[in-house]
Amino acid sequence: MRIGLMTREYPPHVYGGAGVHVEYLSRELARMADVSVYCWGEQHNEGINPEVHGQQPWKEISDGTVGKFKTALEALSLNLTQVKALEGIDVVHTHTWYVSMAGFLARKLYNIPFVLTTHSLEPLRAWKAEQLGSGYAMSSWMERSAILDADAVIAVSEGTKKDILKAASPVRRA
């Protein structure tokens, strides 16, 4: 069994709970299967289980985009880069909206199961609209699309589960 864990943050580049979660999850999963972690940032740890593959968003976007939506475009570019590396992976597991489209695309392109863990939801973080500008609509769309398409969704708390059922329901409420 080969598991591909997709995350924005992984040690030493951890700034929140998702990075800590993935660090411990990858370590425990590596006891039972081959694990490859795909994350943001320059790091590579090949030949050790878990393997770590760090990548950067596309330079054309990082260097050429000035709008607040830059982060959303960087995330999508990195997801496209990461999905190329998933040949031979048996299951893909994503953490946070930053990598959710990699799982979404892996499910479609490689016909493998897609597990998504959500730590919180974009639509419930209104302050992100100021941070991401119009990219907020894109990040929310990426997250919602992935949640609706995943084979399994893991909520980190009962409150997050309720949020998912309310915000990511296939039927939109006015």
- pLDDT tens digits for range 88-107: 999 999 998 899 999 999 99
For the chain, domain boundaries? 2-167
Percent of the chain as helix, strand, coil, to the nearest 5? 45, 20, 35
pLDDT score at 119 = 83
| pTM summary value | 0.89
pLDDT exceeds cutoff 70 at 63:
yes
| Residue-wise pLDDT tens digits, 107-135 | 999 999 999 998 877 666 777 777 777 78
Q: Which of 29-43, 61-75, 160-174 has the lowest mean pLDDT?
A: 160-174
pLDDT of res. 71: 87
Q: What is the DSSP string of 97-108?
A: GGGHHHHHHHHH
How many angstroms separate the Cα of 85 from the Cα of each of 70, 89, 140? 23, 9, 25
The superfamily in CATH containing domain 2-167 is Glycogen Phosphorylase B; (3.40.50.2000)
